[in-house]
Structure 1
Amino acid sequence: MSFDGSAIKALLDDAVSKGAIHGIAAVVVDRSGQLFHHAAGEAGQHAMFRNASMTKAIATTAALQFVEKGVLSLDATVESILPEFGQLQVLDGFDGDKPRLRPPASKATVRQLMTHSAGLGYFFLNENLKRYHELTGEPHPLTGLKRSLSIPLVNDPGTAWEYGTNTDWLGLIVEKLSVQSLGSYLKQHVYGPLGMNDSTFVPSAEQRGRLLRVMQRQADGTLTPSGIDLPPTSEWDAAGHGSYGTVQDYGRFLQAWLNDGAGILEPATVRMALQDHLAPIKLPEAMTPTVPELSNLVPPSPAPQSWGLGFCLTLADLPGMRSSGTADWAGIFNSFYWLDRSRGVGAVLMTQILPFFDMPVVETLIGFETAVYQQVGAAVPAA
């Protein structure tokens, strides 16, 4: 399709020139390839980004390859593959300053890891878990210490959607089944086939030289260099947050999903993964942070949402924007993507700013999505 990206280019350049964003890059793809790419400010044409939670969809894709081969069942219990998962208890509250733990009422499954309903949480979104770390001194996942995965569950598996270390455990399943590190498996079976040549868990010195620095939004709206970053080394390839890459690489990944999994998955697997696998469990209205330096409040979505395997799903057409069935997610450093198979378009917008859900970036994202659908046509015209 012919694609005029001039409005998007102006939008990104304007966000930088106003001082709202220090560096930003965007890519738009269809089934046949890249339609648009632009980088502004400190983000060079080949800038590297911390993918953070955008790693999750890629790691889930790896696990789905094992489902496809018949080696992994979605309804297998996690502990049947990783016995150490069976050691995890549920954090039921506190007796004074002592965490109260009990065995889970049910066993978590692989599908629940993929839909964030296995009972695991994150310290920066769960008050009890934050308190648990403070009281016990146990490391959290952003330390790079693998022991951080052995923290308690916060819910019984299969009872609630809770954002957490689910995908990290899924990555450990991929490592167990492939008998190699997640990074080397992805290089052979996802990154390599798709030409995602800058995607890695361990950036080289040259790649680190292209890495956009992390900035922190201050109360007065200005940006200052952030003291928060991913750990320089990690004891495991963190499937939940640990990969790096370029926007162009992530665009290639979205293109494969748009194109019926071409190169990495079978069409039937793509269709199956983008169904609602969370119902009857409902998503929470909003996501409330416990660490304001890491995330702002994420307000309720304007459309109903649920979860497929590895992706959040929008369940209604948004006028002038994405269609019902669109998959999306984001990374904590304010990077975002969506994948609209019914319109045949996917897009990525990446910055490196904390805390998450930064309003100048979100406003830019809305402008970006609107401009994309002015070019490709939306399911429902904007009134």
Structure 2
Amino acid sequence: MSLGHACVDVYQGAVAALVPYFVAERAYSYAAASGVVLAASLLSSLVQPLFGVLTDRRAMPWLLPLSALTAGAGVALSGVTGSYALTLAVVAVSGVGVAAYHPEAARVARAVARGRHTAMGWFSFGGNAGFALAPLLVFAVVATGGLRASPLLVVPALVGAVLCAAAVRSAGSGARSAAAPAAVGEDDWGSFLRLSGAVVCRSVVFVGLGTFVSLYVRERTGGGEAAGTAALFVLYAGGAAGTLAGGRLAERYGRMAVMRRSYALTVLAVAGLVLVPGPPVYLFVALTSAGLYVPFSLHITLGQDFLPRRAGTASGVTLGLTVSVGGLAAPALGALADATSLRSALLPLIALPALGRLLLCGLREPAPPGTAATAAEPPDPRDPAAR
């Protein structure tokens, strides 16, 4: 499951990694380039909760290999399309493939993990590893062959489809039963919506930086394509490690404490990234990555625990919709960058994790299965993150 997740999510990272090449080869403005990211996110945002609802009702393991192929095909065609409209269309198709994959995959991963934060962290690690590899993959293919070489980017999709098909065959009826566990506990929509709001704030920061950090670092350091690719790789690669660390830290300190502190770290890290000049920008990119990714798998497990009767819906929102919504802000950031400067466009990203941190204030750990939802343990008054 983790390897298949990597092969699918490489295409979420690939769209942002292609932005500098669209700017260089097709002379896209910042707003036009960010529109490509929006196209990949918009349709995905709309359909992902629908896939979550469907997987709450019935098992659809066949979605896993099909969605991998769809995600890969759209990105592979993006460099050879003859118009801006066609480019938007094919990346939108890729976004639908990504949307179809996550709810079913997250539900099965939850059943296999059996409540262990570390196990879900490994599932999330696969997706974040795919994100991290995307800039290197795009650089290896497009920096040498240009956008016309983009069909080679379909290779991870082929590998992912084979892995997913093998997982479906080996799981058999066990996967079908895992995809529809018995509902336990009551849904807490109020807490879930507050959590989702925090994830949206995190998502706008993540997508905004994913879209523009490569161009920004090249502008700030005077480096070329390699400098920008390195920054994007640090942003994504740090997430792979941060996701695993998040699961372990949560088992020791609790999910809510870890999440609150991660959002606070992100405020400081994004401020350093935008405001501190010179090579230290790479350090702040790494710190930003840690702040964004440590709570990543915790968002998923908390969302599923807040909505125990709708695990597919919770997965579709926390793993898909709220993440994709970040792409909706990309054109606004691009338009602001065109009107002012790239640095000015990134300044608002400092405030968003602070808003996310406020939304997390007062949220309590969901009650364990079999207990009343209202009996959740109150926050530890000794924990400054709970105040």
Report TM bin, short chain. Answer: under 0.3
Relative contact order: is structure 1 or structure 2 higher (C-alpha 8 Å, sep ≥ 6)?
2
TM-score (norm 1): 0.27
**Which structure has greater helix proportion?**
2
**Which structure has greater strand proportion?**
1
